[in-house]
Every structure is written in C-alpha cells, then in structure tokens.
C-alpha cells in the first residue's frame, strides 16, 4: 500500500513507533470471536512496542461513522471484518488499488497528516499463504461460494492463475455477481450451480470461502489424489472437507494461514516496521485456538 509517505518518513516512523503510545483495534459485528487482538498483541510484544494496544469493538454499519468521529490522534489504524469492509469506504480519504479492485477494505491506516487510508491485505495475504506452501502458479482454479471473501479470492487468483476459474454458487444473483467481479478483474470466470460443486474438487486449486458447515457434504466427494485446497475457515478446524482432503494426501492451506499473513501486513502498515513477526503471530494464533 502507498500511504503517501516517503521512505525516509517511514523509517522515522519505525523508530518513533517504539517510543510512542498508540492504539489500534478490530471492528465488526459479531466480533467476540476475532483472533486479531491475539495476533497483533503478539506482534507488539515481539517488536518491543510496549506503548501499543490493540482491542476489539462491536460496531455495525450504522455505528461506524460515529466511531470514526470519536477517534483521537493516538490511533494508528483499524482492522475491519464483516459487515464493515464495504461500509467503511465512503469514510476514507484514499483507497488502495487492491481494495478498489474488490470493493472491500479490511485495513485503515491513519497518517501523520490526518488522512484515512484504506487497503485490503486479504488479497496479498492469500497469495502469501499459498506461496508459503509452494503454490506459485496454477493453470486453473475453483472457488466455492460468493461474497466479499470470494471476490478477494478472485483478486488473489488474478495474480497466480493463468487459465479458467469456475465459481460454484447458489442462485443466479450470486452467479451474476461473480461474473461481474471476473470482468472487473479481467479474469476468465465461469459460474456453476452449487449442486455440482463436487466437480470443483478436481481443480489444481480449490478455494473454499463458505461459512462453517457449508462444504461438509462435499467431503465425501474428495478425489483419490486431490491437489491443493485453501479453506478460509480457521474455527472449527479442520473442517470436514479439509480433514478428508489431507487424509487423501492433498495439500491444505487453512484460514489461520490467511489470517496470520493478512495480519502481519496490517502490522507493517500500522507500525511502519519493514518485516512483521510472522512466526510469533502464528504461534500465538495456534495457542489461542488450542485453548478454545
């Protein structure tokens, strides 16, 4: 993300961050389940940012403008989850090209001159999570589901998929939305009915963006030699589909992988550090999920 600061300004910010007391938080509704505080606080501890705090706030679309109006100069940034990723856009001064391409913002950084800059770290987070598991490029892919996460999946596939993408959705409206996102991202996106979603599992890369339980029935249709599954859920984990996929020898990328990779990018943008502590954040997330 280009937040308008020069390299020298960002270097100064990195030094200042360690000495300042700054605030950040995740907003959404519902929000009690969010792991973001665990991940960001682990990053602050690892980076020695003793004066930094990260909280969670239950905020819906109607309460978002008022929340922004109440923020002071000590705020560094915000993480946004549903249903705020699109509702926040009118409240921002600048939106990155990545966020604009999917019409969703999950990160807001408050600059020194008072601007509100929006970005989407879900897209590069997905790409980074796949690359970490050795998936650099695929000839085709399938997406299960529609909505904000599915549009981010399409944007991620725009960077690594060289051929056709098939989106399996429920209903003609969802199908039309996914085709529109494909056109917007200059992708070859074909849609198919959810009833045929079992066919998706033969793709070189399958990205499941559906709510908990939605893909459980598909577990029985996992092929004998599956390729790579990216299931964006992290709780409950593993999903029935991910467990069956792994049992058949397929590669699985999970929701915690995505969560950690997008969060480390948020930490870098909000604090100004060049490299966030990915390993420490992942360890904190794994421990928190185990404790639950």
Select which of 40, 41, 56, 85 is catalytic. 85
CB atoms within 10 A of CB 29: 17
Instruction: Please tell me whether the peptide bond between 90 and the residue prior to it is cis, using omega within 30 degrees of 0.
Output: no
Q: Can you say whether residue 269 is alpha, beta or left, with left for phi > 0 and alpha for psi between -120 and 50 degrees?
A: alpha
| β strands within the chain, DSSP E | 22-28, 52-58, 75-80, 94-95, 107-110, 116-119, 141-144, 165-169, 189-193, 205-208, 228-231, 251-253
97 membership: H or E segment, kind and range: helix 97-102
In sequence order, what DSSP letters do the residues of 265-288 get, joined into one string?
HHHHHHH--SS--HHHHHHHHHHH
In this structure, the number of other CB atoms found within 10 A of the CB of residue 212 comes to 12
How do beta strands 165-169 and 189-193 pair? parallel
Which letter does DSSP use for residue 251 in this model?
Answer: E
**Burial profile 84-103: b = 16 or more Cβ within 10 angstroms, e = fewer:** bbbbbeebbebbbebbbbbb
CA distances to 54, 79, 102, 292 from 40, rounded to whole Å, are 7, 10, 24, 18
Cα 284 to Cα 122: distance, rounded to the nearest angstrom: 19
Distances (CA, A) of 53 to 27, 37, 42, 166, 255: 14, 9, 11, 42, 24
Q: Is 85 known to be catalytic?
A: yes
Q: Which two tokens stand for residue 96?
A: 């990155």
- Catalytically annotated residues: 85
């Amino acid at each position: 993300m280009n937040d308008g600061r020069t390299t020298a300004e960002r270097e100064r910010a990195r030094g200042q961050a360690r000495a300042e007391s700054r605030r950040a938080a995740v907003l959404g509704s519902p929000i009690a389940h969010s792991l973001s505080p665990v991940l960001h606080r682990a990053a602050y501890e690892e980076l020695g940012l003793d004066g930094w705090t990260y909280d969670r706030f239950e905020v819906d679309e109607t309460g978002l403008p008022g929340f922004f109006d109440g923020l002071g100069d000590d705020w560094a940034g915000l993480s946004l989850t549903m249903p705020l990723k699109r509702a926040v856009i009118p409240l921002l001064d600048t939106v990155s090209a990545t966020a604009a391409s999917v019409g969703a913002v999950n990160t807001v950084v408050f600059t020194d001159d008072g601007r509100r800059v929006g970005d989407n770290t879900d897209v590069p987070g997905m790409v980074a999570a796949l690359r970490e598991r050795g998936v650099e490029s695929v000839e085709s892919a399938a997406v299960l589901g529609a909505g904000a996460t599915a549009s981010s999946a399409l944007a991620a596939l725009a960077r690594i998929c060289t051929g056709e993408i098939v989106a399996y959705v429920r209903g003609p409206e969802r199908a039309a939305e996914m085709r529109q996102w494909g056109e917007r991202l200059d992708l070859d996106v074909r849609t198919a009915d959810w009833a045929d979603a079992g066919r998706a599992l033969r793709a070189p890369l399958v990205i499941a963006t559906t709510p908990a339980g939605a893909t459980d029935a598909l577990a029985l249709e996992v092929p004998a030699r599956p390729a790579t599954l990216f299931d964006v859920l992290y709780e409950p984990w593993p999903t029935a589909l991910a467990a069956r996929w792994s049992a058949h020898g397929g590669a699985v990328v999970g929701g915690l992988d995505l969560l950690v990779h997008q969060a480390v990018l948020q930490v870098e943008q909000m604090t100004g550090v060049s490299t966030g502590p990915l390993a420490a954040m992942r360890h904190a997330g794994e421990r928190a999920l185990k404790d639950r």
